[in-house]
Every structure is written in C-alpha cells, then in structure tokens.
Structure 1
Amino acid sequence: MTRGAPIPKTVTLHVPFRVVKRGGRKEMQLPEGATQSRRADSALVKALARAFRWKRMIESGEFATIAELAEREGIAPSYMTRVLRLTLLAPEIVVAILDGNQAPEVTLAKLLEPFPVEWEEQCVHLS
C-alpha cells in the first residue's frame, strides 16, 4: 500500500487446513510443511499435576491408601491408579508434554492405558 491508497474495509485470507479429532476434541491440522506453534495439552498437563500431587500425598503419609485418597478426592480408585501411573513416565516424555512437544498420538486416553515401565521402551511405545 502507498500512503495515498485507501484502506480496504475488509481483508480476506485463505488458510488451508482441516479439522481433525484428537483426544476427543477438534483441532486444526495445517498442510504439510506449514509450521504450527504447539501448545501444551491442558488435559495431559492437569493429569500429570494431579498424579504427582497424589503421589506426594500418599508418600507423605497424609493418606494411608489410594482408596482413602480417592474417596477424599471424590473419584474412583481405579481411575486414580491409572493417573498415578503417569508418575512412572520417562522424564523426557514428561518434559515434552509440558512443553507441548509430545507426539500427536500421545493423548491422555493413550497414557491411561498400560505402558512399559522401562523408560527406553516408553519412548518407542509412545512415539
């Protein structure tokens, strides 16, 4: 634009993308080669925070059993044990989740399924 040119009232942008479902929510997927800034998956971050908080509460002796803590939190003990398993994730996987750099396949639903205990195997299993 030049100084004397009038400013248009509207500007139309065409951005190619498709909508895909990821972890039960819709997300925009850009075409190949397009860069997209990643955001941390809030469900994964919240689950990690809860897992480490619950682990600390049990280890401190504040609660004697998982069932006791689950009752206090108002959730099923089976769900709590699945979330607590997240404390066994390899440190690099935890950091990737917190930075929003985890593989697209790494969702909370997938992490609540059984995964290998060995960190090296986790990296292969979850990529």
Structure 2
Amino acid sequence: MTVHLPFRLVKRGGRKEMQMPDGTSGQHKTDNILVKALARASRWKRMLESGEFTTIAELAEREGIAPSYMTRVLRLTLLAPDIVEGILDGTQGPDVTLARVLGLVPMEWTKQVALFRRN
C-alpha cells in the first residue's frame, strides 16, 4: 500500500517545516521565534513608556543589542490585532515570518492584513 500526501517544505525561522495544501486541516503550530519577538517588543515598549529608559539607544545598550534591531522589533507592537492573534494561536500562515514582519510593513492595519493574506 502506498499513501501519497501532498505537501511542500517551507523555511520558517531558519528551519524547514511541512506545509499542507490550502483547504486541508492540520495542526496549528505556534512559531516560537515570532512569539518571543512579540513578547520582547511588548516588554521594551512598556520599559520605554514607563520612563525606566528614556531612549531606544539607552535600552538597546542595556539589552546588549543594536538600536536599529531594537527599533525594527519594536514595530511589532504596531501590528494589526488579527495578525498578532494569528501568531499567538499558530494560524498566521507560512508567509508571516519574523524576517517579513521586521521588514517594511504598512502602518494601516487593513493594509497589513491584506499584505499577509495576499502572499
């Protein structure tokens, strides 16, 4: 007996993952790299808003990372709630990767959702 399963391999966060075709139900898998980045962004935003740190450069120095990277990660706090929810419950889709969300993403939530649904 031979069983054929249609799937493709995609890279997510530096590792390969099986992706099932559209319309098939599969187990949702949370992308821990994205979840960790969201948590860091939220924590850093709270630290800046509370006045614990006055500048991104000051906070980045304390965290031991480049200010430019911190700025890109902080943009995650501006993601549409639908996208954040998808990331947290593992239904974000294969095109929502850390590299992609750290890139140039529109500020308007409707445009963000359209961008990540289109691809």
**Short-chain TM bin:** 0.7 to 0.9
Show CA shifts across 1:14-43 (max 9, x none).
573553323321112345654211111000
Which ranges of structure 2 fall in alignment gaps of 5 or more residues?
none
Q: Distance in 2 between matches of 1:106 and 1:21?
A: 11
**Change beyond 3 A, Cα 1:57–1:15:** farther
Q: How many residues get paired?
A: 116
RMSD of aligned Cα (Å): 1.9
Q: What is the match of residue 62 of structure 1? A: 52
Which ranges of structure 1 fall in alignment gaps of 5 or more residues?
1-12
TM-score, normalized by length of structure 2? 0.87
| Larger Rg over CA atoms | 1
The answer to whether the aligner puts 1:85 opposite 2:71 as a matched pair is no
Q: What is the match of residue 61 of structure 2? A: 71
**Change beyond 3 A, Cα 1:104–1:120:** same
Per-residue deviation, 1:125? 1.3
TM-score, normalized by length of structure 1? 0.82
Q: What is the match of residue 108 of structure 1? A: 98
Q: Distance in 2 between matches of 1:90 and 1:31?
A: 26
- Percent identity, aligned pairs only, is 67
- SS of corresponding position for 1:126: helix
Q: What is the match of residue 86 of structure 2? A: 96
Q: Distance in 2 between matches of 1:116 and 1:20?
A: 25
